[in-house]
Amino acid sequence: MIKNWTITTEAVKNGTDGVMARERYLLAKEHPNHRTTEAIISLIGNAKTSQRIALIGEQFRVKQHLNRKGGRPLSSYAMEYCLTLPKGHRPTPEQWRSIIADCCLAVSKLIELKPDEVKQFKSQIRAVLHQQQQSGVRGTGDHIHLIIGKILSGRVLKVLQQKKCTALLKQTFNAAVLKYTGLDHKQYKPHEINRGKRLETWKYREQKAANAENTQHLIAKLQKQADKWFKAKEENDYCQQNRQINRLIKTFEELSNAELPCHQREQVTKLRSELKTQSKRKLSLE
């Protein structure tokens, strides 16, 4: 048996850029991280939902700036939860919707929403299902990316990023999976449980090495695109400048979802700042 089905929690950073980057990432079938993804299905909301989360966050940030008496401005407008089941188990999209509905209801009760806040809370929920390959050692099982806006009625829902919220989601997820699919985490035995920790360590190292290789490839591509842009600028080749800056934006976006060591993060930040300084276009490269 296992203690809980897996849920990971992470703040969506970088304001509007971060929210919209996650929206594009979740639907990007060709993204390197989605090599083992068989299907991507929107269950709740759409791109307009993410835009709404970003807009409400920006409005709050403006008011915060006007009334600020110190402190850091809000830079995260949403929380993202990833709810994962092991390989070999594939609830239908309808079952997943029911599971997510139970989870969101539990969160709304934890927040203690007022009757007039329920509609706005629901309007800031985005859920995307990733159906994964069910064979092989690489990759995870089917999972849901659940994004919930953090701003409601002019206040920040800090409880969304607290441990008690994650704990509640795990309990609700366990119960909902059992309720709608009959799968009990207490009875589940991982197929590789008797093969020891060495296999899990090997899989982890293999995946980490693959991710590092992909990140290095992206950084090399970024540098090549930047070199072409600077050359085009020197030659006043506006067509080539525009072509390369559009490619750079896409590469920066891919790197925003990668785990970079400090030296690589500094390298990317320095390059981004230099491009923003020298480019006359208003760019969103954060």
Domains of the chain by residue range = 6-191, 196-278
If we measure between CA atoms, which residue out of 115, 135, 126 comes closest to residue 51? 126
Q: What span, in angstroms and rounded, lies between the C-alpha atoms of 18 and 58?
A: 12
Which tokens hold the place of 151? Answer: 């701003």
12 and 18 in contact (C-beta within 8 Å)?
Answer: yes
The long-range contacts involving 270-273, CB below 8 angstroms and separated by at least 24 positions, are 271/222, 271/223, 271/226
What are residue 253's phi and psi, to 5 degrees?
-65, -40
CA-to-CA distance for 172 and 189, rounded, in angstroms? 20
Q: Would you state the pLDDT for residue 222? A: 85
Closest of 36, 217, 42 to residue 125, by C-alpha: 42
pLDDT at residue 215, as a whole number: 78
Using the structure block, give the residue that is written with the tokens 């806006």: 149
Q: CA–CA separation, 5 vs 183, rounded Å?
A: 10
| 143 neighbors 84 (Cβ within 8 angstroms) | yes
Distance, C-alpha 191 to centroid of its chain: 28
- CB atoms near residue 82 (< 10 Å): 15
172 in Cβ contact with 81 (< 8 Å): no
pTM score, whole prediction: 0.69
What pLDDT is stored for residue 209 in this prediction?
Answer: 63
Q: How far apart are CA 18 and CA 20, in angstroms?
A: 6
Tokens linked to 10? 């992470």
6-191: which CATH topology? Answer: BirA Bifunctional Protein; domain 2 (3.30.930)
> pLDDT truncated to tens, each residue of the chain (286 aa)?
678 899 999 999 999 999 999 999 999 999 988 989 999 999 999 999 999 999 999 999 998 888 876 567 888 999 999 999 998 899 999 999 999 999 999 999 999 998 899 999 999 999 999 999 988 766 689 999 999 999 999 999 999 999 999 999 999 999 999 999 999 988 887 754 444 455 455 555 656 666 677 777 888 888 888 888 888 888 888 888 888 888 888 888 777 766 677 767 777 777 877 777 777 554 444 4
Which three-class secondary structure state does DSSP give residue 79? strand
Cα 257 from chain centroid (whole Å): 8
- For 16, 224, 240, 241, 265, the CA distances from 231, given in Å and listed in that order, are 31, 11, 9, 9, 24
Rounded Cα gap, residues 21 and 183, in angstroms: 33
